[in-house]
Amino acid sequence: MADEQGLTEAQIAVHWREEEYYHPPASFIGQANAADPRIHNQFREELFPECFKAYADLLDWDKYWHTTLDTSNAPFWKWFVGGRLNASYNCVDRHLEKNRNKAAFIWVPEPEDEETVTLTYQELYERVNEFAALLRDFCGVKTGDRITFHLPMTPELPVAMLACARLGVIHSEVFGGFSGNACGDRIVDSGSNILITMDSYYRNGDLLDHKVKADEAVAVAEAEGVNVDKVLVWRRYPGKYSSPTPMVEGRDYFVDEVLKDYRGAKVDPVSLPAEAPLFLMYTSGTTGRPKGCQHSTGGYLSYVTGTAKYYQDIQPEDTYWCLADIGWITGHSYIVYGPLSLGASSVLFEGVPTYPDPGRAWRIAERLGVNIFHTAPTTIRMLRKAGPDEPQKYNYHFKHMTTVGEPIEPEVWRWYHEVVGKGEAIIVDTWWQTETGGFLGSTLPALQPMKPGSCGPSVLGIYGAVYDENGDEVPAGSGKAGNIVIRNPWPGIFQTIWGQPERFVEVYYEKYCKDKNSTDWRDWPYFPGDGAMQAADGYFRILGRVDDVINVAGHRLGTKELESAALTVEDVAEAAAVPVMDEIRGRAVEIYASLKPGFEADDKAAGKVRQAIRTEIGPIATPKHVWLVPDMPKTRSGKIMRRVIASISNFTDVGDITTLANPEIVEEIQKHVQASKVAQGEAPQELSAVELAEIQRFGQEE
Ligand code: PRX
């Protein structure tokens, strides 16, 4: 991974100070699901793959499986073969007998004067059945069809997910904050003919028009040859339409109106093979086309149930709040499927946790008696900046907290522990991905001490390692970084990329595959695309992506997607996207663009590029700056040197540029960009060795 100018792995290690351990409080250990040290024994590598029976046995199966892991079509693993089950039954029906009046979801609307809505398991059961009946009879969908959702954080989203799961229909939720265009692309990729959306939702005090995005999505899909027959529109306030965008006759339907015909309807859960796909979740990669990660029913549900039990420590009396969006994998696995399968009470929050003031999140925790809290470093940084002393003003007590989605800085971790957790809560730093269904790296709460900034060792049944470029293992404690790999399959791993099986093998398995004809899982290590270091205690420190992906506020944005969005502007000839360090979001995006001859490099052009990115992808991708440059630094073969422009944006050394085709352009861009940044109050900040290494290797894959 080291290059001539960059830091070597050993240098990164030297710069990295080992943090001290924090030990789990006795009060936590006394009650934890994972307090029994024998649990490690059950997951010893010699017991693989049968060890995962422990997770699958947490579910109700219509038919028990005969083969735990079938590797015959490597690396398309099949788990729990021969087994049949239904995810909706496991998350809803099976809890009715003992817990019908228990809260399944507690929904907190953003406006503080709106009542909290509690959905008991009984009520969820009724609503899921009615909506499943509507999907089956009004929309005519059947097992194996795909439906796209573009839903915000309201109870209608999990109701729709569970209704699809009941029918064996594959749901594909597109994050509500994504643009209509992004939603349209995903409709096309998945071949959905039904779109489920909502008229409006609250964010930061505004009731946003969301329906308008459905019209854009349908138009994009139609232009690419996919017809959306029906758009189902939930209303934020049933009976009252809160969007200025007209409904389209014969295509758009208000769900609350159609549902009247299905009052009290019941739909038998369809008994599905364990390998039946449950959902698609799109994520970014190195090429522009998004990847629809296909997750299974039996393997996925077993894995999220087991990890929610042992790593989230969810127990019957707990109130669990995962402050993430269901539009991301975190929400699917650890707001909906994992907690519900365990029969938990899961809090859903519509809005922004700092609205109307930085105490909002802690008021919710206090009022609902939340004792398990789960969020991402970007939110923790935001809450810390907006109200560093707020938590102590509220009387809540967490036993357990999670951080997920990006590396957390040790000082932010300590604020989370001392101030948010009041020194009482255990923290798990869970490292994983959209593709992996559930956690891969984390400490086992109660049994393993925490170390700020490190996710911990591999979780139960996962055998992680760090490999160098040749596939040789970099030993733990060697002080060297490399690529983290998982040496074995596990039930939560995605089954394939929807419609792109070759890409699935190429991106995740080809790099370290020992023998392409082998059906032995030992020959197929999984390559997640992250750099990491493993300390002598076996704990991993994740260093970030090794591909062309920028992690903005815990969300993956591919450089190619950003650049293609910029290129939709007529003026733009070439564009390059690079990461820049950001206090709250971890990383932000900066775009460099050169214009075609005859176009004026002015604020208007830069504004068009910014707007194009918002329209194509969504506000989350809004660049911090758009720099219009006369030319890009390029190699002699014409490739844009992203590492050079990333260095300029981050005020770091641009390294050796003598081999470039146009080295003189570097200084010109550097002067302009850095002078403008300083003029806008963006002083150069000192980067850690890890951050420096990320910038210096950015775009190196090219
Ligand atoms: O680079 C890693 C980072 O986020 C990537 C996965 O992003 P996504 O698929 O959007 O899933 C996010 C929620 C699971 C990883 O490849 N990442 C995720 N969790 C951590 C992390 N980096 C460091 N520490 C983590 N805990």
Going from the Cα of 455 to the center of ligand 1, the distance in angstroms, rounded, reads 11
Mean pLDDT of 455-461: 98
Pick the atom of ligand 1 nearest to 429's CA.
26
Query: How sure is the predictor about 2, in pLDDT bands with cuts at 50, 70 and 90?
Result: very low
Return the pLDDT at 3.
45
Query: Are the CB atoms for 22 and 451 separated by under 8 Å?
Result: yes
Going from the Cα of 432 to the center of ligand 1, the distance in angstroms, rounded, reads 5
CA distance 12 to 693: 8
**Minimum mean pLDDT range among 367-371, 591-595, 653-657, 689-693:** 689-693
Residue 229 Ramachandran class (φ > 0 left, ψ -120 to 50 alpha, else beta): alpha
Q: Is the CB of 434 under 6 A from ligand 1?
A: yes
Res 121 pLDDT > 80: yes
Pick the atom of ligand 1 nearest to 549's CA.
1
Q: Is the CB of 556 under 6 A from ligand 1?
A: yes
Query: How sure is the predictor about 658, in pLDDT bands with cuts at 50, 70 and 90?
Result: confident
Return the pLDDT at 635.
86
Query: Are the CB atoms for 421 and 401 separated by under 8 Å?
Result: yes
Closest Cα to atom 4, ligand 1: which residue? 405
Q: Is the CB of 431 under 6 A from ligand 1?
A: yes
Three-state DSSP class for residue 324 = coil
Higher pLDDT, 16 or 552: 552
Return the pLDDT at 8.
64
Instruction: Give the residue among 45, 24, 501, 49 at the shortest CA–CA distance from 303.
Output: 49
The residues, ordered by sequence, that sit 6+ positions from 498 with a Cβ below 8 Å of its Cβ are 189, 190, 280, 291, 292, 293, 294
Mean pLDDT of 337-350: 98
Mean pLDDT of 335-362: 98
Question: In this predicted model, what pLDDT tens digit does every residue of 370-382 receive, in sequence order?
Answer: 999 999 999 999 9
Helix (H) / strand (E) containing 307: helix 298-310
The residues, ordered by sequence, that sit 6+ positions from 418 with a Cβ below 8 Å of its Cβ are none
Ligand 1: which of 286, 406, 416 to mutate, judged by most atoms within 8 Å of the beta carbon? Answer: 406
Query: Are the CB atoms for 430 and 405 separated by under 8 Å?
Result: no
To the nearest whole number, what is the mean pLDDT of the chain? 95
- 3-state helix, strand, coil split of the chain in percent (to 5) is 35, 20, 45
Res 1 pLDDT > 60: no
Mean pLDDT of 554-568: 91
- The alpha helices in 113-229, defined as continuous H runs, are 121-133, 156-167, 180-190, 211-223
Tell me the longest C-alpha to C-alpha distance in the chain: 74
Pick the atom of ligand 1 nearest to 545's CA.
1
Q: Is the CB of 433 under 6 A from ligand 1?
A: yes
- The DSSP code sequence of 623-662 is -SEEEE-S---B-TT--B-HHHHHHHHTT------TTSS-
Closest Cα to atom 6, ligand 1: which residue? 433
Res 58 pLDDT > 90: yes
Return the pLDDT at 7.
60
Query: How sure is the predictor about 34, in pLDDT bands with cuts at 50, 70 and 90?
Result: very high
Res 555 pLDDT > 90: no
The residues, ordered by sequence, that sit 6+ positions from 544 with a Cβ below 8 Å of its Cβ are 406, 407, 530, 531, 551, 690, 694
Return the pLDDT at 103.
98
Three-state DSSP class for residue 126 = helix
Closest Cα to atom 19, ligand 1: which residue? 405
Q: Is the CB of 283 under 6 A from ligand 1?
A: yes
- The DSSP code sequence of 567-592 is TTSTTEEEEEEEEEEETTTEEEEEEE
The residues, ordered by sequence, that sit 6+ positions from 629 with a Cβ below 8 Å of its Cβ are 592, 593, 594, 665, 669, 672
**Minimum mean pLDDT range among 74-83, 333-342, 549-558, 601-610:** 549-558
Pick the atom of ligand 1 nearest to 404's CA.
26
Q: Is the CB of 694 under 6 A from ligand 1?
A: no
Query: How sure is the predictor about 643, in pLDDT bands with cuts at 50, 70 and 90?
Result: very high
Going from the Cα of 507 to the center of ligand 1, the distance in angstroms, rounded, reads 17
Res 156 pLDDT > 50: yes
Going from the Cα of 404 to the center of ligand 1, the distance in angstroms, rounded, reads 7
Closest Cα to atom 12, ligand 1: which residue? 405
Query: How sure is the predictor about 286, in pLDDT bands with cuts at 50, 70 and 90?
Result: confident
Q: Is the CB of 430 under 6 A from ligand 1?
A: yes
Instruction: Give the residue among 406, 543, 429, 701 at the shortest CA–CA distance from 13.
Output: 543
Q: Is the CB of 453 under 6 A from ligand 1?
A: no
CA dihedral (181, 182, 188, 192) positive or negative = negative
Res 6 pLDDT > 60: no
Closest Cα to atom 8, ligand 1: which residue? 433
Question: In this predicted model, what pLDDT tens digit does every residue of 579-599 receive, in sequence order?
Answer: 999 999 999 999 999 999 999
Beta carbons within 10 angstroms of residue 664's beta carbon: 10
Phi, psi of 3 (to 5 degrees): -125, 175
The residues, ordered by sequence, that sit 6+ positions from 505 with a Cβ below 8 Å of its Cβ are 75
**Minimum mean pLDDT range among 220-229, 426-435, 649-658:** 649-658
Closest Cα to atom 15, ligand 1: which residue? 433
Return the pLDDT at 16.
64
Q: Is the CB of 330 under 6 A from ligand 1?
A: yes
Res 135 pLDDT > 70: yes
To which residue do tokens 């190619």 refer?
560
Pick the atom of ligand 1 nearest to 403's CA.
26
CA distance 456 to 509: 24
Ligand 1: which of 334, 375, 530 to mutate, judged by most atoms within 8 Å of the beta carbon? Answer: 530
Closest Cα to atom 13, ligand 1: which residue? 405
Going from the Cα of 440 to the center of ligand 1, the distance in angstroms, rounded, reads 10
To which residue do tokens 């999220």 refer?
304
Pick the atom of ligand 1 nearest to 555's CA.
10
Closest Cα to atom 21, ligand 1: which residue? 406
AA letter at 168: G
Query: How sure is the predictor about 9, in pLDDT bands with cuts at 50, 70 and 90?
Result: low
The dihedral over CA atoms of 210, 214, 216, 221, expressed in degrees to the nearest 10, equals 150
Going from the Cα of 453 to the center of ligand 1, the distance in angstroms, rounded, reads 13
